[in-house]
Amino acid sequence: MATLRPLDPPHKGIRNALSQLCLAAGSTSAGDPNGVNSLVMLGVDVLDFLDEHADFEEKYILEPLEERVPGAGADDHAAHQELETKVQGLRDLLTSLTSTLSQDTIDAFYTEVVLFQAAYLVHMAQEEATTERLMMKHFSDEELIGHQIAIMGETSFESLLRMFRFIAPARRLDENLQVMQAFRANAPEPAFTAVLTTLRSAMPAAQYNALIDALG
Ligand SMILES: [Fe+2]
Ligand SMILES: [Fe+2]
């Protein structure tokens, strides 16, 4: 039985990302073009983050699990297809939001984000209650770490920064410290500095300062 929870970091990051998008969608006025622009950029980032997570989940959770527990990935796979349709609907609304700059479109987007957030929160809770437990039962910590390393290897640096931006503020100091110490030991200095810059703007000052103090 593994002790690592492979879905904990990405799901905490997704809960953070969806909360940010809900907050921004509800507080943006059509009369503020810069605000609308920021909302659209955040929306694209959040939806790209979700799509990337679904792809990694298909490849490094559902596929390996199916090999050891045939049929165990079917429900999540079907849920991913349904959610992807909703993501595409949100992307279409984001596009019309840019072209129309109308408050009605922003309000419609807000309503859809809220419903999507509710559906996605249920999806993640179901994955954690069933799929993640099966992964921990049928895979060792070493195998799960191997999946994480493979995911990192397939992630562009831009996507990696987005992962840090959404995931790190949602995790505990000891968890972030462990990740950042490993990253400092293995990544080139400019990459480490770029991650710190990302974290400084993504985290409340007290959380960021506590991490810097702990890193020494
Ligand atoms: Fe999923
Ligand atoms: Fe997930």
- Tell me the pLDDT of the chain averaged across its residues: 97
Same domain, 144 and 112: yes
Asked, for residue 98, whether it belongs to a domain, the answer is: yes
Tokens read off for 47: 């939806």
Say if 162 falls within a structural domain: no
The tally of domains found in the chain comes to 2
Domain shared by 23 and 47, yes or no: yes
State how far the alpha carbon of 113 is from the alpha carbons of 26, 101, 107, 117, 129, in Å.
10, 17, 10, 6, 24
Which of 132, 156, 180 finishes a domain? 156
For ligand 2, the distance from its centroid to the CA atom of residue 1, given in whole angstroms, is 20
Q: How far apart are CA 16 and CA 203, in angstroms?
A: 11
Q: Which ligand approaches the C-alpha of residue 11 most closely?
A: 2
97/197 same-domain check: no
Cα 55 to middle of ligand 2, angstroms: 10
Residues 53 and 111 in one domain: yes
Residues 111 and 206 in one domain: no
81 in any annotated domain:
yes
Together in a domain, 148 and 191: no
Distance 54 CA to ligand 2 centre (A): 6
- What per-residue confidence (pLDDT) applies to 100? 87
Contact in structure between 172 and 5 (CB atoms under 8 Å) = no
Residues 152 and 176 in one domain: no
- The CA 142 to ligand 1 mean position distance, Å, reads 22
* Separation of CA 80 and ligand 1 centre (Å): 6
**Same domain for 130 and 28?**
yes
Has residue 101 got a pLDDT over 90? Answer: no
Q: How confident is the model at residue 190 (pLDDT cuts 50, 70, 90)?
A: very high
Asked if residue 3 belongs to a domain, the reply is no
Q: How far is ligand 1, taken at its centre, from the CA of residue 57, in Å?
A: 6
Query: Helices 33-57 and 103-126 meet at what angle, rounded to 10?
Result: 20
Neighbouring residues of 18: CB distance < 8 A, sequence distance ≥ 6? 46, 113, 116, 117, 120, 121
The pLDDT tens digits of the residues spanning 15-63 come to: 999 999 999 999 999 999 999 999 999 999 999 999 999 999 999 999 9
Asked whether residue 165 is assigned to any structural domain, the reply reads no
From the CA of 5, the nearest ligand is 2
Q: CATH number for the domain including 112?
A: 1.20.120.520
What's this model's pTM, rounded to 2 decimal places? 0.96
Can you give the residue range of the structural domain that contains 216? 172-216
Answer yes or no: do 144 and 102 share one domain: yes
Q: How far is CA 133 from the centre of its chain?
A: 20
The answer, yes or no, to whether residue 174 has pLDDT greater than 90, is: yes
Instruction: Please check whether residues 201 and 145 belong to one and the same domain.
Output: no
Is residue 139's pLDDT more than 90? yes
Q: Are residues 80 and 151 in the same domain?
A: yes
In a domain, 45, yes or no: yes
21: in domain:
yes
Are 48 and 97 in the same domain? yes
CA of 124 to the centre of ligand 2 (A): 5
> For residue 196, how many other CB atoms are within 10 A of its CB?
17
Predicted pLDDT at 115 = 98
